[in-house]
């Protein structure tokens, strides 16, 4: 979750909220139109892509069937049609195993769960909410009211993986979000390693003999082709699963995976059974000692991933598992004038682009509470605040009596 304060740029805040409210006016219009006509109406009114029209049509449908939710956000400017479309998608995907005769009934129950878990949070928001945090809260609501349905949906999605060929183009649909995110994370890691090596070679080549470096997508394709070819190399995919534990060894209930969000207990059990390493991570930052060196220890890196969920830069949604580790207060290893310790209380996850901005000093940050809250100052002097939204942050704050329960 991100908030912004200060007088500098106040007009920008007002414009942003005004634009978001404008989208809600259009959604309010679409909700009054018959369902079959919403898509065409959105296309005519927006004059943009089919995907844009579909997003607004879904938003109109959600507003029509859940007036309590829509009433909470229509005049605040904290959500856009993309936010409402996200809610629509998270709920409607649960219908894949539901008979058509019961779909309206099931959607009614899911909408009720959203109004219990999500609507009050949206009603109290004062700045545009994070899509990632909204996704996680909607998924929590689903897992709370219908864990069995969520498990059936996961099974159906796992069984729906497809691979289609169109001449020299292959279209692979992983079916399951968890599998898709894990594959992407593995490809991204290997691609970065290859690209770093190519850049080193590139720097040693005479400038007039240098050729363009391959793009990330070209490298990922190369990795997949090597995996399918006559090569002994294999790719190991690492996924961190976060679950509550009663004995420090076995997880219980739903689990959380970066870039996916909350997964049902059955899927979490399968991941845990396949895991080669299971470790208890204390949620209390005080139980993580400082390191004498510059790099964060493995357990500390895992803690930061589970605490932050995403890049901690304002409004950035890059998953934490794809981010780099940053010292909030600079380490003396990189800045002799600073004395920031290597500790989870002085650590955060930042994507590569925003890590670079922070390192360059164009944006500065600090924390008043061991990394759960990060206060940023932009180049214009405007203040922004981000809050950790991952499962470890939720668990720690819940232990302090400051937040609600996780899904079962």
pLDDT digits (tens, 9 = 90+) for 193-224: 999 999 988 888 888 888 889 999 999 988 88
Residue 117 exposed, middle or buried by CB count within 10 Å (0-12, 13-18, 19+): buried
Q: Are residues 84 and 175 in the same domain?
A: no
DSSP state of 36: H
Q: Are residues 186 and 310 in the same domain?
A: no
Q: Are residues 197 and 71 in the same domain?
A: no
pTM: 0.74
Rounded distance, CA 201 to CA 339, Å?
A: 35
Q: Is the dihedral of CA 5, 8, 9, 13 positive or negative?
A: positive
Rounded distance, CA 384 to CA 376, Å?
A: 5
Q: 151 in a domain, yes or no? A: no
- In this predicted structure, the answer to whether residue 43 has a pLDDT above a threshold of 70 is yes
Token pair of 59 as six digits: 């938003």
Q: 48 in a domain, yes or no? A: yes
Domain that holds residue 179: 163-228
Average pLDDT, the chain: 89
Q: 246 in a domain, yes or no? A: no
Q: Are residues 218 and 347 in the same domain?
A: no
Q: 237 in a domain, yes or no? A: no
Q: Are residues 62 and 125 in the same domain?
A: yes
Q: Are residues 14 and 116 in the same domain?
A: yes
Share of the chain above pLDDT 70, in %: 93
Going along 35-108, which residue ranges are E strands? none
The residue from 78, 110, 145 where one domain ends is 145
Q: Are residues 136 and 168 in the same domain?
A: no
Q: Are residues 75 and 169 in the same domain?
A: no
Q: 267 in a domain, yes or no? A: no
pLDDT-based confidence at residue 232 (cuts at 50, 70, 90): very low
Token pair of 271 as six digits: 């991941």
The pLDDT of residue 237: 59
How many whole angstroms from its chain centre is CA 218? 25
Domain count, the chain: 3
Are 115 and 69 contacting, i.e. CB atoms less than 8 angstroms apart? yes
Residue position matching structure tokens 């949070």: 121
Q: 238 in a domain, yes or no? A: no
The pLDDT of residue 3: 55
Are 3 and 383 contacting, i.e. CB atoms less than 8 angstroms apart? no
Q: Which helix (H) or strand (E) holds 148?
A: helix 147-158
Q: Are residues 343 and 313 in the same domain?
A: yes
Tell me phi and psi for residue 378, to 5 degrees: -85, 175
Q: 77 in a domain, yes or no? A: yes
Rounded distance, CA 263 to CA 211, Å?
A: 44
The residue from 228, 244, 264 where one domain ends is 228
Q: Are residues 138 and 171 in the same domain?
A: no
pLDDT digits (tens, 9 = 90+) for 259-313: 888 999 988 898 888 888 888 899 999 999 999 999 999 999 999 999 999 999 9
Closest CA to 30 of 71, 2, 64, 4: 64
* Local structure of 4: helix, strand or coil: strand
Q: 71 in a domain, yes or no? A: yes
Are 383 and 376 contacting, i.e. CB atoms less than 8 angstroms apart? yes
Q: Are residues 109 and 171 in the same domain?
A: no
Q: Are residues 51 and 129 in the same domain?
A: yes
């Amino acid at each position: 979750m991100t908030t912004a304060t200060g007088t500098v740029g106040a007009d920008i805040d007002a414009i942003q909220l005004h634009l978001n409210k404008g989208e809600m006016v259009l959604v309010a219009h679409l909700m009054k139109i018959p369902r079959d006509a919403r898509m065409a109406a959105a296309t005519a009114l927006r004059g943009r892509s089919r995907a844009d029209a579909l997003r607004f049509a879904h938003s109109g449908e959600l507003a029509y069937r859940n007036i309590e939710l829509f009433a909470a956000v229509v005049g605040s400017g904290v959500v856009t049609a993309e936010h409402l479309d996200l809610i629509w998608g998270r709920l409607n995907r649960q219908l894949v195993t539901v008979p058509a005769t019961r779909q309206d009934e099931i959607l009614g129950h899911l909408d009720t769960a959203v109004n219990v878990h999500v609507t009050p949070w949206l009603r109290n928001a004062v700045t545009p909410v994070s899509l990632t945090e909204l996704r996680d809260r909607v998924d929590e609501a689903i897992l709370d009211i219908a864990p069995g349905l969520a498990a059936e949906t996961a099974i159906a999605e796992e069984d729906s993986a497809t691979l289609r060929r169109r001449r020299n183009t292959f279209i692979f649909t992983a079916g399951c979000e968890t599998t898709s995110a894990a594959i992407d994370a593995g490809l991204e890691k290997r691609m970065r390693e290859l690209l770093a090596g190519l850049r080193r070679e590139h720097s040693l080549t005479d400038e007039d003999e240098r050729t363009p470096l391959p793009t990330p997508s070209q490298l990922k394709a190369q990795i997949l082709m090597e995996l399918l070819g006559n090569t002994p190399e294999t790719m190991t995919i690492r996924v961190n699963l976060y679950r509550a534990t009663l004995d420090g060894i076995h997880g219980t209930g739903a689990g959380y995976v970066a870039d996916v969000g909350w997964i049902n207990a059955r899927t979490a059990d399968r991941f845990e059974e396949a895991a080669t390493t299971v470790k208890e991570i204390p949620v209390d930052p005080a139980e993580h000692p400082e390191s004498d060196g510059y790099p964060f220890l493995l357990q500390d890196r895992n803690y930061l991933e589970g605490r932050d969920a995403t890049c901690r830069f304002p409004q950035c949604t890059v998953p934490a598992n794809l981010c780099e580790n940053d010292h909030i207060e600079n380490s003396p290893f990189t800045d002799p004038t600073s004395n920031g310790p290597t500790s989870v209380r002085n650590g955060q996850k930042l994507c590569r682009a925003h890590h670079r901005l922070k390192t360059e000093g164009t944006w500065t940050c600090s924390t008043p509470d061991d990394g759960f809250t990060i206060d940023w100052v932009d180049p214009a002097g405007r203040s922004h605040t981000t809050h950790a939204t991952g499962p470890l942050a939720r668990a720690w704050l819940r232990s302090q009596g400051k937040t609600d329960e996780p899904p079962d």
